Amino acid sequence: MALKATIFKAKVQIADMDRDYYGEHQLTLARHPSETDERMMVRLLAFAHNASDLLEFTRGLSSDEEADLWQKSLSGEIDLWIEVGLPAEERLRKACNRAGRVLVYSYGRRAAPIWWQKLENQLERFDNLRIFHLAADTTEQLAQMVERNMDFSITIQDGHIWLADNDHNTEITPQIWK
């Protein structure tokens, strides 16, 4: 018998002063049985960092043909493709050919630097690709904030992200690797 996704609800208030975006979103996150709390929260953070009314979560781990998040134009073209974790070079090449912009939110204490060292030269050719790296300490703090029903206030300014709920306040400064 196949395991089913676990459903989480998140109310997210976003004040993104870098992009002049202010909004509130009621999100439903389906966590795949193989997905960790840390990865799910990085997906949530990626949403907040790029929030818009057209950005949406996809089937993610359940589909090889879809990003973790994407934003499509009204005519159906993929404007923004967002990957979470350490995607293969082939997957990023495919994403860069299909989407106007591709963002990767990498994380992982040991694996991420090795992944980047291995792929850095291969990914240089993609002008529409940006890679953000999140420090392990901060993603582990995000994982501790997981509840079935979450309420977050997120402020983004000068490249820094502050994420707070009733019990926690975490500052995240993504490193830009590309």
Tens digit of pLDDT for each residue in 80-120? 999 999 999 999 999 999 999 999 999 988 899 999 999 99
Q: In the β-sheet with 69-72, what is the strand arrangement from edge to edge?
A: 55-57, 69-72, 78-84, 99-107, 129-134, 175-176
Beta strand 6-16 with 169-172 is unpaired
Rounded to an integer, what distance in angstroms lies between the CA atom of residue 59 and that of residue 65? 9
Rounded to an integer, what distance in angstroms lies between the CA atom of residue 75 and that of residue 10? 29
**Phi/psi of residue 56, each to 5°?**
-145, 150
* 117-175 residue pLDDT tens: 999 999 999 999 999 999 999 999 999 999 999 999 999 999 999 999 989 999 999 99
Residue type, 136: A
